[in-house]
Amino acid sequence: MPGDKKVCGFDEWHSFARPFFDVLPIGRPEAFRAYATTSKIGRLIVSDVGFDAAVFNRDPGKLKDFDTEFLLLETYDKGSNRGRAGDLVTGLETRSVHVFDMARPWRIQTTAVTCRSVVIPYDVIGM
């Protein structure tokens, strides 16, 4: 993890990610490290994050306290993921761009990742 970012452990990362995903570390939870910086640009949320290998599970039916009508635009500077978004097999490689519809269930497994993302509410783009 980069030295100029506030690095956190698994419990703090799990709390940060909870509105979006249920996260499970790959390996020992006490060894897991992550960081996140976020800012708002109008109604968009822009993030710079890094985290150790993990499994991310999203089941919109279980996230009743959180809005599910948004897209996640994401690019990995380092790392990759593999998984399923609904019925589709999905994956993201370093330096590629991916858009996830957060109203759909999906599950991915990642390597260690550094990435940038933008959370985009549906109505911002007329969906």
Q: Is residue 59 part of a domain?
A: yes
Domain assignment of residue 4, yes or no: no
pTM of structure: 0.84
Q: Where residue 20 sits, what CATH number does that domain have?
A: 2.60.120.10
Can you give the residue range of the structural domain that contains 37?
10-125
Number of domains in the chain: 1
Per-residue pLDDT of the chain (127 residues; tens, 9 = 90+): 444 578 899 999 988 888 778 899 999 999 999 999 989 999 999 999 999 999 999 887 776 666 678 899 999 999 999 999 888 898 889 998 988 888 888 899 999 999 999 999 999 988 7
Residue 5 lies in a domain: no
> Which H or E run includes 13?
helix 10-17
Reported for 75-80, long-range contacts at CB under 8 A and 24+ positions apart, including other chains, are 75/115, 75/116, 75/117, 76/113, 76/114, 76/115, 77/114, 77/115, 77/116, 78/50, 78/112, 78/113, 78/114, 78/115, 79/110, 79/111, 79/112, 79/113, 79/114, 79/115, 80/110, 80/111, 80/113
Element at 14 (helix H, strand E) = helix 10-17
